[in-house]
Amino acid sequence: MVVRYHGVLSDSVSVTCGLPQGTLLGPLIFIAYINSAARQAISRRWKFVDDLNLLETRIASQPSNIQQDLTDLNTWSQESRMVLHPGKCKVLHVQFSRALHPPPALKINDNVLEQVEIMRILGVYLQSDLKWNVHVNFIYNKASQRLFLLRRLKHFHTPKDDLVIVYTSYIRPVTEYAAPVWHPGLTTELNNKIERIQRRAVRIILGRDYTCYAEACAHLGLPSLHSRRSNLTLKFAKSLMVSEQYRHLLPPTRENISHRQTRSANNLDMPKCRTERYRTSAVPHMVRVLNTSLV
């Protein structure tokens, strides 16, 4: 049995475990194997199916504790008769201090883990500068490749309604995967780049009947990709508000803080954003759209 690591470190790490596939007991056996992994870790940990991420947030001048978590995880794997593959583990450091501090060299079995500037986690590309250029380029290229199917179907005189169904079910989802995470941080340039996917799609569907983008979208009943991502983000934010497990990701309401009944008592307390980077990140953006929807 092999556990493969690939991880994030601001500091971070992930686990993949191989088990016989297609069996009824396979998922339960897998959960039993990895349930105790990194349970005593000092760093924050997140598990999703076969992926485990360790994250450490610290002041750059302070010593790192994540190496101890990696050592304990390696000990756990040996006791569980598993083998770690250090070559599958990647390290991503995120640092914005003016005086740059060299990141610590993290090791597994005396093998120094590779440090990268870009890392893919659950289909989303993270950059060390927390920008979204790489992820947008990825989804743009992937969606562009799928437009080829639309062109081939158009060549065979497929009805417009069927072409719209193919676009909305096969191509458009690529531009919306995990949108609440990265949509708030997009620049105008990146927004326009994603919107070009739908511009090209409606041109293909309408052919010679195409006049302009706005009229084409209205004719085919397609909202802009930007408005769809905004609605998805609002929908996700509302689901967090009523979630017992993830409500803590959003700040409390002003009423819970001041214990006073005012006109804005139901509004969420807005996080203090000292940088534009944080202001346009997911949580502050969702707080703003939720407060706006409550007005």
d(CA 129, CA 143): 25
Q: Which position has the higher pLDDT, 195 or 50?
A: 195
Asked if residues 180 and 282 have their Cβ atoms less than 8 Å apart, the reply is yes
pLDDT of residue 20: 58
Residue 226 has pLDDT above 60, yes or no: yes
Residue 26 DSSP label: H
Question: Mean pLDDT for the chain?
Answer: 86
**Dihedral pair phi/psi, residue 213, rounded to 5°:** -65, -45
Cα distances from 152 to residues 146, 165, 198, in angstroms, run: 10, 15, 17
Instruction: Give Cβ neighbours of residue 141 (< 8 Å, ≥ 6 apart).
Output: none
Q: Which two tokens stand for residue 171?
A: 């191509």
Residue 23 has pLDDT above 80, yes or no: no
When computed from its CA atoms, the radius of gyration of the chain, rounded to whole angstroms, is: 23
d(CA 113, CA 6): 9
The whole-model pTM stands at: 0.85
Q: Which two tokens stand for residue 109?
A: 């079995």
pLDDT tens digits, one per residue of 86-138: 888 889 988 887 777 788 888 888 888 888 999 998 899 999 999 999 999 99
pLDDT of residue 174: 97
